[in-house]
């Protein structure tokens, strides 16, 4: 009975001990016969590279005895299909790639101020990053809103972009920065006409001072609405959220600002098909653009943060992305949208009837 009992060690233990012995012999050879000026970890790495690589198609060698890289290649071979990685012909072509960029840090909002040194650095760094992302042979268009902070932002973005193209040795064509009326800040109806909400501040401040000093009766509605807006700004609140969520009769509705932006994007796209469009503008309109696409408010963009719109070929669909949130939408047809103006006449969509 005892003659049938096996006293030798199992095969897997023998293989393990053999592998350990080979490893110890290799380390001893590296330490004793190797170049002492080379670190031990580097000698081990070089010795590992000198070992003959086994054939991963060898069906006789068990999978568990192959190297980790060979195991990874063998296990992933069957998963490399069109469900995991789409074939090149299935990729969607872009009509335009749009970056709506908030201006850099500014000196203040009570006047049409320019950028601070920090804002200049932010804009230049943004342009340098775009040069790193884009490829040789592409076409870039720079546009901006008609304010000093937006103009200076896109100018420094363009300078950073040119510096980046030189640094990374890329040949990318670009258009010089120009203002576009469609990308202006949201408007306010002041007594002397339609103007940027920042441009109306001085008139608001002078008239409010008069009422506070003389107390001459009820204040006009435009002054009340502007006072509520700016007091939120001074108190450290979020006046853009108020504009997005509270109906105010003297402020341009957020939906009309979004409409303007789409009109400008479509016009630029027709003029520069296939180009990347970098547009420096203001946080309120950018935020409204994101809200219209995503269906909720993702928050105020930081200085030189952007909302991106990838418009696909045919200009019927677009992918809007902001802070790792993505939403595919249908590009609106501007001719079918209503128009906001300062009179009491409402214009129905072309070809339709007012109901």
Which CATH architecture describes the domain 95-186+252-336? Answer: 3-Layer(aba) Sandwich (3.40)
225: its two tokens: 């609405």
Task: Please answer whether residues 297 and 238 qualify as being in contact, where contact means their C-beta atoms are separated by less than 8 angstroms.
Answer: no
73: its two tokens: 């290649």
158: its two tokens: 């363009």
Task: Tell me the chain's radius of gyration from C-alpha atoms.
Answer: 32
Query: According to the model, what pLDDT value does residue 206 have?
Result: 82
Query: According to the model, what pLDDT value does residue 212 have?
Result: 79
For tokens 């203002």, the residue is 179
β-pair type (139-144, 173-179): parallel
Query: According to the model, what pLDDT value does residue 347 have?
Result: 53
Q: How many CB atoms lie within 10 A of CB 199?
A: 15
Alpha helical stretches, state H, 63-116: 68-76
Task: Please answer whether residues 43 and 30 qualify as being in contact, where contact means their C-beta atoms are separated by less than 8 angstroms.
Answer: yes
Query: According to the model, what pLDDT value does residue 260 have?
Result: 93
Task: Please answer whether residues 185 and 199 qualify as being in contact, where contact means their C-beta atoms are separated by less than 8 angstroms.
Answer: no
Task: Please answer whether residues 194 and 157 qualify as being in contact, where contact means their C-beta atoms are separated by less than 8 angstroms.
Answer: no
Give dist(CA 330, CA 341) in Å, integer.
25
Alpha helical stretches, state H, the chain: 11-33, 40-50, 68-76, 117-133, 148-167, 201-214, 221-234, 239-245, 254-271, 283-294
Query: According to the model, what pLDDT value does residue 55 have?
Result: 47
Give dist(CA 247, CA 346) in Å, integer.
17
Query: According to the model, what pLDDT value does residue 45 have?
Result: 65
Give dist(CA 274, CA 313) in Å, integer.
9
Q: Which long-range contacts (CB under 8 A, 24 or more apart) does 111-116 make?
A: 111/198, 111/201, 111/202, 112/147, 112/148, 112/149, 112/196, 112/198, 112/199, 113/148, 113/149, 114/148, 114/149, 114/152, 115/149, 115/152, 115/153, 115/156
Distances (CA, A) of 211 to 22, 89, 111, 216: 93, 67, 21, 6
Query: According to the model, what pLDDT value does residue 353 have?
Result: 44
Query: According to the model, what pLDDT value does residue 288 have?
Result: 97
Query: According to the model, what pLDDT value does residue 113 have?
Result: 86
Domains of the chain, by residue range, sit at 2-76, 95-186+252-336, 187-245
Task: Please answer whether residues 336 and 117 qualify as being in contact, where contact means their C-beta atoms are separated by less than 8 angstroms.
Answer: no
pLDDT tens track, the chain, 355 positions = 456 666 677 778 888 888 888 877 766 665 555 566 667 676 666 666 555 444 444 555 555 555 555 666 666 665 655 555 555 555 568 999 999 999 999 988 877 888 999 999 999 999 999 999 999 999 999 999 999 999 999 999 999 999 999 999 999 999 999 999 999 999 998 888 888 888 888 888 888 888 878 767 788 888 889 889 988 888 888 999 999 999 998 999 999 999 999 999 999 999 999 999 999 999 999 999 999 999 999 999 999 999 999 999 889 999 999 999 999 999 998 888 777 665 656 555 555 444 3
SS3 of residue 178 by DSSP? strand
Query: According to the model, what pLDDT value does residue 329 have?
Result: 94
Query: According to the model, what pLDDT value does residue 352 have?
Result: 46
Query: According to the model, what pLDDT value does residue 354 have?
Result: 41
Cα separation of the two ends of the chain: 102
């Amino acid at each position: 009975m005892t003659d049938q009992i096996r006293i030798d060690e199992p095969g897997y233990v023998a293989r393990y001990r053999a592998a350990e012995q080979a490893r110890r012999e290799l380390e001893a050879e590296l330490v004793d016969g190797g170049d002492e000026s080379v670190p031990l970890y580097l000698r081990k790495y070089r010795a590992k590279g000198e070992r003959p690589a086994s054939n991963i198609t060898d069906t006789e060698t068990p999978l568990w005895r192959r190297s980790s890289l060979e195991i990874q290649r063998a296990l992933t071979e069957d998963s490399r299909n069109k469900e995991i990685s789409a074939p090149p012909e299935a990729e969607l072509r872009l009509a335009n790639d749009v970056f709506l960029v908030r201006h850099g840090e500014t000196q203040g909002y009570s006047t049409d101020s320019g950028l601070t040194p920090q804002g200049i650095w932010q804009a230049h760094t943004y342009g340098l990053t775009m040069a790193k992302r884009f490829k040789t042979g592409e076409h870039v268009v720079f546009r901006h809103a008609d304010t000093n902070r937006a103009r200076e932002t896109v100018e420094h973005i363009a300078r950073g972009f040119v510096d980046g193209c030189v640094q990374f040795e890329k040949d990318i064509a670009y258009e010089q920065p120009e203002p576009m009326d469609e990308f202006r800040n949201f408007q306010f109806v002041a007594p002397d006409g339609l103007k940027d909400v920042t441009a109306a501040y001085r008139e608001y401040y002078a008239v409010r001072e008069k009422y506070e000093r003389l107390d001459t009766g009820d204040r006009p509605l435009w002054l009340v609405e502007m006072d509520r807006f700016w007091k939120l700004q001074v108190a450290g609140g979020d006046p853009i959220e108020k504009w997005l969520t509270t109906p105010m009769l003297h402020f341009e509705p957020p939906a009309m600002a979004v409409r303007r932006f789409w009109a400008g994007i479509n016009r630029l796209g027709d003029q520069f098909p296939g180009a990347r469009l970098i547009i420096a503008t203001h946080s309120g309109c950018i935020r409204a653009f994101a809200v219209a696409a995503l269906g909720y408010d993702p928050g105020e963009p930081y200085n030189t943060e952007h909302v991106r719109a990838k418009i696909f070929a045919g200009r019927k669909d677009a992918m809007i992305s902001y802070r790792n949130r993505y939403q595919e939408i249908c590009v609106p047809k501007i001719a079918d949208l209503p128009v906001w103006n300062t009179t009491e006449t409402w214009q129905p969509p072309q070809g339709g009837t007012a109901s």
